[in-house]
């Protein structure tokens, strides 16, 4: 079987974003719409030229248009999603639809949905129209698209602008360095937790519905009329970053000269995206944390370690049949080093972009820059909201207990809310250059959630079914 | 070393009291399912010996599976109220202490059960309604509530001192920490009494001795056993329905208020003597392994379970599984699937509708989606759940014990750095 040819066939049925981030197109608009009149909305949305992956692979594109829908949006368009079997319950409930979910995701206090600018209640979007183009072109294109929208089709809830540079988040760190390598060719034969060593290549079914996943099964998805095939779930969260607060705090703790070094420990990478030198990496991503189980080089609580722990299915690695059995029975290794395993079942394709004008870190540290509002439009794609995005956000990023720690959340993203028993979550522990353990407490909240929603990004065929008028 | 006990008391409900019972149980909680430690009926917090406890209405929504999958099993079973607790010390002392602290409250709660009358002797009734647990897992045998509380206090004191001197190097920090720790009283850890140790050794020897004695029978029986098992594994029906969102919301509302969560699941065994006796033997072996092999922090590779138990109900037609685990339900399932699928298959594959296994340990939980749905299908709400140490995970408790050990024997060099890093 020619895997590549099969993949090319797939490309015509997949929205381009699944395979590409389009970092070269510096302009981005996330247009959030609510359906006004379903028939008119369907007709207008049908008229939009949605970019396929095949097009993106064939030539360099100047403009990219992608379409995704919330469950509320599909309902508004007349698709009875609650009766169509196969849609994920998390998608049907919505990101802000259940207080238990908000609690688990850490969306509480200032980040609670009730304070969101969009995504909750009356401000829940129906349609996400994503426009990517050159920075000089994007505004005109947006005007042309929205100008052509019939007034009875949709109402404009909000337009979120992204700003350059793509690939650098507002705290100043190079972002989006580590992405899973998607197995488009179907070369993997995964069948559950048996890959004791870390690997970056991940089964297509982890990102695209209708394909085999890392457990070796095709997961549940809406099969009726092919609506779900080659679709994926798109998670969108608008994260406001307190850049001034971040650098003020790091400078206060570590001094002006030490601020960047402390921030690099918190992130777990250099500000330029380079791995921490002690990890002896080959290139940007050629490393794991297997040789650093206690976080001497890269703190256990560091952001990159939480977001992508690079763990195989067994911290012992592959050691031959008998020793693997001994390890599986728990007779080898220690509990704390086994706290985070099997990272490959929780990988995400990240497609986020920054917004606002982020000042230079050194200027903030020197007190020369006044920060305006800026942050990240965090966008990721996954086939299982529960097992991928919600797991990473809830069990790894927001949890003060990640990796056997306690009292620490993600040093960048944590909400710092005490746990129910009153214990604080605002600490961060690392080792300094001499190997001495260091600990600080009182980390302020640097990131606040301003909005968010779960979308379904259908395949091209699925999109046509969603938008076709009922016979 | 403290001996730990486990009790499971259950009795059928009176007709028509369900709503009132649930209202009464809800009045003991501060948020859905979470016991208020000083609640007006059973102030668990005053019984310093309890680790975890729960009241749960054993109402089995999966009973109707029997109509389609197991005609030979009765269509109904009684709905029971169960009280389950894990505690330090002997059973008799526990029941007496419980009756002293919460006598009137317990009488009110058990009054919803069919045979509990105003004049009933509470302790005798609890003893009479005790169900024997088929297998019981304790994360760390011998780590009692007092030890946990004192070590957590020590950690708090040392951490505060460390934060107050956060730029000092390890050698300078040690005397400061040693001084700060002096203020925390630490009760010396007890060794296991000789009699208990002998009892433990005898119980440990039981399995190998039985295996030796029964070896000829085992050899003879192996082939028929394998044939029977394989035939059943290939034909046993699977039932893993799509989760109901409303029920999921109700269960989620009880979860993730603390690092530790409760878990209750109930279901029927597959019909017939083969599965019933296989379940009996396997749970006995799991109980033996939990007592003698997995004593200190790990159940195979799963490190997040504080206490777990399997209890037969209704003449071994059903099993109730109770667990207390760290992290989210999704993370717990993840551990089941990715770390100990073989163990889950051994213990759960005799359940009616369980995802297909091969050779007892393969498949099953590895069928991720079916497995999660099967678990969800059998999960039931726990009306009142108490944990004595909110905020403390198993990793915290083990870390605190290491911190205490380091505090009592001054570490040096790299060991000192490692010790400080844990504070």
Q: How far apart are the first and last CA of chain B?
A: 24
CA B127 to chain CA mean position, Å: 20
Q: Distance from B204 to chain A by nearest Cα, in Å?
A: 18
**B330 vs A: CB within 8 A:** yes
Nearest-CA distance B342 → chain A (Å): 9
Question: How many interchain CB pairs under 8 A, A with B?
Answer: 151
**For residue A3, pLDDT beyond 50:** no
**Minimum CA–CA partner of B172 in chain A:** A436
**Sign of the torsion angle spanned by Cα atoms A89, A91, A96, A101:** positive
Q: Report pLDDT digits (tens) over B278-289.
A: 999 999 999 999
B306 contact A CB<8A: no
pLDDT digits (tens, 9 = 90+) for A431-444: 998 899 999 999 99
The runs of H, that is alpha helices, within B111-184 are 122-128, 145-164, 170-182
For the stretch B198-231, pLDDT in tens is: 999 999 999 999 999 999 999 999 999 999 999 9
Beta bridge partners, B51, equal: none
Question: By the CB < 8 Å criterion, does A191 face chain B?
Answer: yes
Q: Are residues B169 and B227 in the same domain?
A: no
The answer on pLDDT for A6 being more than 80 is no
Rounded-to-integer distance, Cα B246 and Cα B250, Å? 6
B51 and B175 inside one domain: no
**Does the beta carbon of A186 lie under 8 angstroms from any beta carbon of chain B?**
no
Residues 155 through 174 of chain A touching chain B, CB cutoff 8 Å: none
Q: Are residues B183 and B252 in the same domain?
A: no
Instruction: Report pLDDT digits (tens) over B45-91.
Output: 999 999 999 999 999 999 999 999 999 999 999 999 999 999 999 99
Buried b (16+ CB within 10 A) or exposed e, A389-417: bbbbbbbbbbbbbbbbbbbbbbbbbbbbb
The minimum CA-CA distance between A308 and chain B, rounded to whole Å, is 16
Distances (CA, A) of B59 to A121, B2, B170: 35, 34, 56
Contacts of A286 (CB under 8 A, 6+ apart): none
For position A5, what pLDDT does the model report? 43
Residue A7: per-residue pLDDT? 60
The answer to whether the CB atoms of A101 and B252 lie below 8 A apart is yes
Under 8 Å between Cβ of B319 and B287: no
Domain check: are B267 and B165 in the same one? Answer: no
Q: What CA–CA distance (Å, rounded) separates A323 from A18? A: 39
Is any Cβ of chain A less than 8 angstroms from the Cβ of B170?
yes
Our CA angle for A91, A445, A397, nearest 5°, is: 45
Model confidence at B241, pLDDT cuts 50, 70, 90, reads: very high
Other C-beta atoms closer than 10 Å to the C-beta of B22 total 14
A93 and B CB contact within 8 Å: yes
Asked if B394 lies within 8 A of A335 by C-beta distance, the reply is yes
A298–chain B Cβ distance below 8 A for any pair: no
Distance CA A290, CA A309 (A): 10
Chain B residues near residue A311 by CB distance under 8 angstroms: none
B341 in A contact zone (CB under 8 Å): yes
**Contact (CB, 8 A) for B324 and B260:** yes
Structural domains in chain B (count): 2
Are B57 and B82 in the same domain? yes
Split at pLDDT 50, 70, 90, the class of A193 is confident
B358 close to A (CB below 8 A): no
User: Could you tell me if the ipTM is greater than 0.90?
Assistant: yes
Find, in chain A, the residue whose alpha carbon is nearest to that of B260.
Answer: A401
- CA distance readout (Å), A114 to A121, A378, B291: 8, 19, 49
Considering chain B, what percentage of its residues have pLDDT values greater than 70?
A: 100
Beta-carbon separation of B242 and A220 below 8 A: yes
**Within this chain, do residues B295 and B311 fall inside the same structural domain, yes or no?**
yes
Question: Helix, strand or coil for residue B101?
Answer: helix
**CB within 8 Å of chain B, chain A residues 194-223:** 215, 217, 219-220
Tell me the pLDDT band of A2, cut-offs 50, 70 and 90.
Answer: very low
| CA distance to partner chain A, nearest, from residue B68 (Å) | 22
Q: What is the extent of the structural domain holding B99?
A: 4-142+192-387
Q: Are residues B129 and B89 in the same domain?
A: yes
Instruction: Please name the residue of chain A whose CA is at the shortest distance from the CA of residue B341.
Output: A193
Task: Express each pLDDT in B146-195 by its tens digit.
Answer: 999 999 999 999 999 999 999 999 999 999 999 999 999 999 998 888 98
CA distance B89 to B1: 10
| Interface contact A394-B423, CB threshold 8 A | no
Reply yes or no on whether the pLDDT at B142 is more than 80: yes
Dmax over CA atoms of chain B, in Å, equals 73
The answer to whether B411 and A352 have CB atoms below 8 angstroms apart is no
B259:A419 CB<8 A: yes
For A407, name the nearest residue in chain B, comparing CA atoms only: B391
Average pLDDT over residues A273-300: 94
User: pLDDT tens, A300-331?
Assistant: 999 999 999 999 999 888 889 999 999 999 99
Q: Which residue has the tokens 């007890």?
A: B190
The predicted model gives A118-133 an average pLDDT of 97
Q: What are the DSSP calls for A128-154, one per residue?
A: EEEEEE-TTTHHHHHHHHHHTS-TTTE
B250, B256, B398, B422: best to mutate for the A interface, most A CBs within 10 A: B256
Residue A214 · residue A383 · CB < 8 Å: no
The minimal CB distance from A406 to the residues B248, B294, B393 is found for B393
Pairing outcome for strands A437-440 and A428-431: antiparallel
Residue-wise pLDDT for A154-175, tens only, equals 999 999 999 878 999 999 999 9
Share of chain A above pLDDT 90, in %: 87
Name every chain B residue with its beta carbon within 8 A of the beta carbon of A294.
418, 421
Nearest by CB: A342 against B330, B338, B366: B338
Return the beta strands (E) in B13-95 as ranges: 29-31, 34-35, 50-58, 80-88
Average pLDDT over residues A128-152: 97
Sheet with strand B260-268: strands edge to edge: B133-138, B305-313, B318-326, B260-268
At A471 the pLDDT is 54
Chain B residue at shortest CA distance from A216: B367
Residue A85, Ramachandran bin (φ over 0: left; ψ between -120 and 50: alpha; else beta): beta
Measured between alpha carbons, how far is B62 from B373 in angstroms, rounded to an integer? 12
Q: Measure the CA–CA gap between B303 and B336, rounded to whole angstroms.
A: 11
Summarize the confidence of residues A334-347 as an average pLDDT. Answer: 94
- Interface check for B258 against chain A (CB to CB < 8 A): the answer is yes
d(CA A65, CA A55): 12
| Pair B15, B106 in one domain | yes
Provide the CB-side half-sphere exposure for A383 (13 A, CA). Answer: 29
Q: Do B111 and B221 fall within a single domain?
A: yes
**Nearest to residue B11, comparing CAs of B21, B23, B26, B1?**
B21
Report yes or no: A379 and A351 within 8 Å, Cβ to Cβ: yes
B91: distance to nearest CA of chain A, Å? 29
Q: Which residue of A has its CA nearest to B159?
A: A439
Q: Which one of B368, B370, B389, B423 would you mutate to disrupt binding with A, by most A Cβ within 10 Å of its Cβ?
A: B368
Mean pLDDT of all residues in chain A?
A: 94
Instruction: Let me know: does B24 contact B42? Beta carbons within 8 Å.
Output: no
Same domain, B261 and B219: yes
Mean pLDDT of B347-372: 95
Nearest by CB to B367, which of A217, A421, A438? A217
Closest CA to B326 of B395, B273, B280, B381: B395
Determine, for residues B331 and A391 on separate chains, whether the beta-carbon distance falls below 8 Å.
Answer: yes
B222 φ/ψ angles, rounded to the nearest 5 degrees: -60, -45
pLDDT in tens, A448-459: 999 999 999 999
Which residue in chain A is spatially nearest to B31 when comparing CA positions?
A420
Distance (Å, whole) CA A199 – CA A197: 6
In this prediction, residue B205 carries a pLDDT of: 96
What are the φ and ψ backbone dihedral angles of B146, each rounded to 5 degrees?
A: -65, -45
Question: Which of B173, B304, B331 should we substitute to test contact with A (largest number of A Cβ atoms within 10 Å)?
Answer: B331
User: Do residues B204 and B79 both lie within one domain?
Assistant: yes
The answer, for B326 touching chain A at a CB cutoff of 8 Å, is yes
User: A422, B391: Cβ pair inside 8 Å?
Assistant: yes
Enumerate residues 122 to 161 of chain A having a beta carbon within 8 A of any beta carbon in chain B: none
Count of C-beta atoms within a 10 Å radius of residue B82: 23
State whether B133 and B229 are in the same domain.
yes
What residues 423-462 of chain A have any CB closer than 8 A to a CB of chain B? 423, 429, 431, 435-441
User: Within 13 Å and on the Cβ side, how many CA atoms surround B152?
Assistant: 19
As a whole number, mean pLDDT of residues B374-395 equals: 97
Residue A8 has pLDDT above 70, yes or no: no
Task: Note whether A437 contacts B163, CB cutoff 8 Å.
Answer: no
pTM: 0.97
- Helix H or strand E encompassing B21: helix B18-26
């Amino acid at each position: 079987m020619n895997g590549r040819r099969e993949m090319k066939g797939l490309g015509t049925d997949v929205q381009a974003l699944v395979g590409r981030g389009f970092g070269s197109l510096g302009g981005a608009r996330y247009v959030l719409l609510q359906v006004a009149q379903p028939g008119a909305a369907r007709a207008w949305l049908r008229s939009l030229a949605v970019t396929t992956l095949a097009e993106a692979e064939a030539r360099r594109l100047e403009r990219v248009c992608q379409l995704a829908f919330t469950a509320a949006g599909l309902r508004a368009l007349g698709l009875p999603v609650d009766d169509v079997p196969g849609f994920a319950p998390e998608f049907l409930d919505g990101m802000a639809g259940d207080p238990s979910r908000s609690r688990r995701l850490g969306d509480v206090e200032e980040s609670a949905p009730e304070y969101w600018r969009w995504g909750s209640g009356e401000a829940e979007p129906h349609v996400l129209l994503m426009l990517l183009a050159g920075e000089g072109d994007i505004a005109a294109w947006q005007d042309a698209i929205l100008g052509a929208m019939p007034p009875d089709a949709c109402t404009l809830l909000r337009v979120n602008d992204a700003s350059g540079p793509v690939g650098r988040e507002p705290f100043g760190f190079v972002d989006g360095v580590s992405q899973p390598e998607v197995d488009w060719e179907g070369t993997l034969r995964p069948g559950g937790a048996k890959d004791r060593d870390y690997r970056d290549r991940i089964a297509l079914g982890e990102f695209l519905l209708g394909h085999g996943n890392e457990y070796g099964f095709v997961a549940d998805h809406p099969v009726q009329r092919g609506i779900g095939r080659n679709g994926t779930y798109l998670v969108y969260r608008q994260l406001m970053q307190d850049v001034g607060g971040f650098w003020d705090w790091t400078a206060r703790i570590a001094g002006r000269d030490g601020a960047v070094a402390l921030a690099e420990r918190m992130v777990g990478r250099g500000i330029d995206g380079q791995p921490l030198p002690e990890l002896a990496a080959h290139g940007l991503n050629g490393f794991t944390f297997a040789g650093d189980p206690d976080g001497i080089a890269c703190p256990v609580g560091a952001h990159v370690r939480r977001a992508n722990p690079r763990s195989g299915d067994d911290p012992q690695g592959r050691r031959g049949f008998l020793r693997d059995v001994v390890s599986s029975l728990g007779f080898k290794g220690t509990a704390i080093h086994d706290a985070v395993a099997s990272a490959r079942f929780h990988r995400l394709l990240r497609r986020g972009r920054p917004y606002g004008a982020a000042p230079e870190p050194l200027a903030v540290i020197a007190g020369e820059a006044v920060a305006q509002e800026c942050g990240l439009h965090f966008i990721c794609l996954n086939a299982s909201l529960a097992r991928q995005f919600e797991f990473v956000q809830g069990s790894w990023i927001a949890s003060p207990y990640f990796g056997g720690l306690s009292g620490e959340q993600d040093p960048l993203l944590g909400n710092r809310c005490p746990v129910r028993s009153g214990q604080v979550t605002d600490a961060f522990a690392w080792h300094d250059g001499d190997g001495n353990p260091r600990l600080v407490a009182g980390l302020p909240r640097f990131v606040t959630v301003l909005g968010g929603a779960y979308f379904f990004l259908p395949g091209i065929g699925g999109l046509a079914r969603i938008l076709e008028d009922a016979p | 070393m403290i001996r730990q006990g486990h009790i499971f008391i259950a009795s059928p409900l009176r007709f028509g009291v369900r709503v009132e019972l649930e209202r009464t149980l809800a009045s003991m909680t501060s948020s859905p399912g979470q016991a208020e430690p000083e609640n007006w009926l059973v102030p668990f917090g005053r019984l310093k010996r309890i680790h975890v406890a729960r009241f749960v209405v054993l109402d089995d929504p999966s009973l109707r599976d029997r109509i389609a999958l197991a005609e030979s099993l009765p269509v109904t079973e009684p709905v029971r109220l169960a009280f389950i607790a894990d505690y330090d010390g002997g059973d008799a002392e526990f029941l007496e202490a419980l009756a002293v602290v919460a006598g009137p409250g317990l009488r009110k709660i058990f009054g919803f059960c069919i045979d509990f009358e105003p004049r009933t002797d509470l302790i005798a009734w609890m003893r009479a309604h005790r169900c024997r647990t088929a297998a019981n897992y304790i994360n760390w045998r011998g780590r009692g509530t007092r030890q946990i509380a004192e070590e957590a206090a020590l950690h708090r004191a040392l951490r505060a001192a460390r934060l107050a001197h956060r730029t000092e190097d390890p050698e300078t920090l040690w005397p400061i920490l040693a001084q700060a720790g002096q203020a925390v009283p630490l009760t010396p850890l007890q060794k296991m009494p000789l009699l208990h140790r002998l009892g433990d050794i005898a119980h440990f020897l039981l399995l190998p001795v039985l295996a030796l004695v029964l070896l000829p029978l085992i050899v003879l029986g192996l082939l028929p056993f394998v044939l029977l098992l394989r035939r059943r594994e290939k034909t046993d029906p699977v039932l893993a329905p799509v989760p109901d969102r409303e029920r999921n919301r109700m269960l989620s509302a009880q979860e993730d208020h603390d690092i530790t969560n409760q878990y209750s699941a109930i279901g029927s065994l597959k019909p017939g003597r083969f599965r019933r006796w296989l379940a009996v033997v396997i749970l006995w072996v799991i109980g033996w392994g939990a007592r003698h092999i997995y004593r200190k922090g790990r159940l195979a590779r799963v490190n997040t379970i504080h206490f777990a138990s399997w209890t037969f109900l209704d003449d071994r037609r059903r099993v109730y599984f109770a667990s207390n685990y760290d992290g989210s339900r999704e993370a717990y399932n993840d551990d089941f699937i990715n770390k100990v699928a073989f163990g889950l298959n051994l213990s759960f594959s005799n359940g009616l509708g369980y995802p297909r296994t091969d050779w007892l340990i393969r498949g099953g939980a590895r069928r991720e989606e079916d497995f999660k749905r099967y678990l969800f299908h059998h999960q039931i709400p726990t009306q009142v759940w108490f944990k004595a140490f909110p905020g403390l995970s198993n990793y915290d408790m083990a870390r605190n014990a290491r911190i205490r050990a380091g505090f009592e024997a001054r570490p040096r060099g790299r060991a000192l750095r490692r010790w400080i890093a844990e504070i």
